[in-house]
Structure 1
Amino acid sequence: MIPLVVRPEPQNHRLCEALRQAGHQPVATPLLSFAPGAELAQAPRLLGELGSRDYVIAVSVAAVNFADNALKTRGQPWPDVTYVAVGEATGRALAAVGVPHALVPDDPRSEGMAALPELQNPAGCRVLILRGDGGRDMMAPTLTQRGAQVAYCEVYRRCYRDDAGEQLVKEWQRQGVDSIIITSGGLLQHLFQLAADSAKDWLLSRLLIVPSIRVTEQAKALGFTHIINAKGASNPALLSALDERKRNDRQ
């Protein structure tokens, strides 16, 4: 298959390599990059104030990496607290910076994190959520209702590619793109907005690989009809979903 891969670097390159090894012909077009967030400078202080009964929730790999760089600049270690990662990739990112054994929910959404047994009774504890700009606001109200003191720290911001979408779509059509791998709702929305009205039907007719039920529902609302939920944004999960379709097409 010829999947379009729009996730940011370096994840884009790694996914494309895995796809090529599996016999696919990916078209790499990163539509998103990351920059330091408005509150990144505050991260070392906020992390340093936490105690052993407190929690840190990391919502993405980018959140972990930006916070880690800020800590290293200060020569400050990650605090000895309970860590929660939104998904397996974020859990691996925490392990890579010296924070093993992060809690990872089976459901890689806010709902999945809120259902973790360890977060059912956080009364009196502090919870610091490391995130990017424009993140979902479900976790703070939920944990606050359970008695926790919750704070957000915007450690990175998203920078979406905003050049001529019409030319990008024409290039994707020329290369024969037959499927699209999407790893977040924000990327899906931006991709849809990039396409001119005349290209919407072509875009909506592509097979769409998404990471979760929430993005599946978002895709259906936009008009996509050929959707596979990979149930995760890791390379193995995305590749397995695409290979499943490839096997079905051969039968």
Structure 2
Amino acid sequence: MGMTRPLVVITRPLAQAQELAQRTQLLGRSVALFPLLDILPLPDPAPLRAALRELERYALLAFVSPNAIDAALSVQPDWPVSVPLAVVGEGSRAALARHGLTADRYTIHSPRNRDRTDSETLLEELDLPALAGKDVLIIRGETGRELLGDALRNAGVRVTTVAAYRRQAPALTPAKRAELQHLLHGQNDWVVTSSEALRFWMQMVEQLDDAEGVAKMQQQRLIVPHVRIAEIAHSFGFSKIIQSRSGDDGLLAALQSLS
């Protein structure tokens, strides 16, 4: 009999994990869902609703994540085709497509370098001189990087930033604590698609009644879609890190290449 392949642990929020889990199972891999982020609605959606009532005054609408797209489109399902859109990754392009916002009808800017998709590479695709003096709306979570907004402001763009959702660490319930301890007991492949999720994971492990918990975590193999997540993982002591291309196709290709 052959050796049992490692379990694939998908750490995305549950709403985003299902399709990747199904496609991973089609590769013949066993999957566990262990969300390291909860995505929650805003306590007060009024600022988001107000911003979305004025979409046509913006020269560009930028989304920082699929969560931003899903949250905004649930509030305002009709988007003007005349206003260009900007996203930072393949997952966000797929989220736009689920809502009917596709490149055959909308102008969609996104990084062309699929090995690195982030605010830095998105900025390379934007015509910053043409945006100077104009209004851009950035739709994001309550917290996150300021690089995109700061770079646009430095280029003379009038930037409005509005939150569409909030992120938080899942509660470490007794059941989740037991599941985490069980997963750390073996050697598994963990798909981690967020730097914040990686930090929350470390915080969870540090709360376990296990003196070797952090060491066990550092021995897990990570599949991450971005160099920044890989860098943070290295700083946390991980050594088995596979960096994939952006998007689910990139993650699946990386998983398929592993023995």
Contact 1:40–1:70, Cα closer than 8 Å, also in 2: no
Deviation readout 1:41-69 (Å, 9 max, x if unpaired)? 32343233243661000111111111111
1:66 to 71, 79, 82: 71
Distance 1:243 1:26 in 2: 14
Contact 1:44–1:70, Cα closer than 8 Å, also in 2: yes
Deviation readout 1:102-151 (Å, 9 max, x if unpaired)? 21213321111111143454111111111012110001111011111001
2:258 is the counterpart of 1:245: yes
Map of 1:202 onto structure 2: 216
2:193 is the counterpart of 1:189: no
Contact 1:38–1:155, Cα closer than 8 Å, also in 2: no
2:110 is the counterpart of 1:104: yes
Distance 1:86 1:39 in 2: 26
Residue 166 of structure 1, CA deviation? 4.4
2:147 to 138, 155, 159: 138
Q: What is the SS of the residue equivalent to 1:140? A: helix
* CA distance 1:24–1:154, change in 2 (3 Å): same
Q: What is the SS of the residue equivalent to 1:236? A: helix
Map of 2:40 onto structure 1: 35
Residue 235 of structure 1, CA deviation? 2.0
Distance 1:53 1:10 in 2: 30
Q: Which runs of 5+ in 1 are unaligned?
A: 247-251
Map of 2:236 onto structure 1: 222
Map of 2:92 onto structure 1: 90
Contact 1:55–1:83, Cα closer than 8 Å, also in 2: yes
Letter of the aligned partner of 1:57 in structure 2? A
Q: What is the SS of the residue equivalent to 2:13? A: coil
1:6 to 3, 11, 18: 11
Map of 1:172 onto structure 2: 183
Percent identity between matched residues is 28
Letter of the aligned partner of 2:224 in structure 1? V
* CA distance 1:203–1:215, change in 2 (3 Å): same
Map of 2:3 onto structure 1: none
Contact 2:86–2:110, Cα closer than 8 Å, also in 1: yes
Q: What is the SS of the residue equivalent to 2:258? A: helix
Of 194-203 and 40-49, the range deviating more from structure 2: 40-49
Q: Which runs of 5+ in 2 are unaligned?
A: 1-5
TM-score, normalising length from structure 1?
0.88
Q: What is the SS of the residue equivalent to 1:208? A: strand
Distance 1:39 1:238 in 2: 35
Contact 1:40–1:66, Cα closer than 8 Å, also in 2: no
Contact 1:37–1:157, Cα closer than 8 Å, also in 2: yes
Q: What is the SS of the residue equivalent to 2:165? A: strand
Contact 1:56–1:127, Cα closer than 8 Å, also in 2: yes
Of 212-221 and 234-243, the range deviating more from structure 2: 234-243
Of 85-94 and 34-43, the range deviating more from structure 2: 34-43
Distance 1:192 1:238 in 2: 22
TM-score, normalising length from structure 2?
0.85
Contact 2:187–2:221, Cα closer than 8 Å, also in 1: no
Letter of the aligned partner of 1:182 in structure 2? V
Contact 1:56–1:82, Cα closer than 8 Å, also in 2: yes
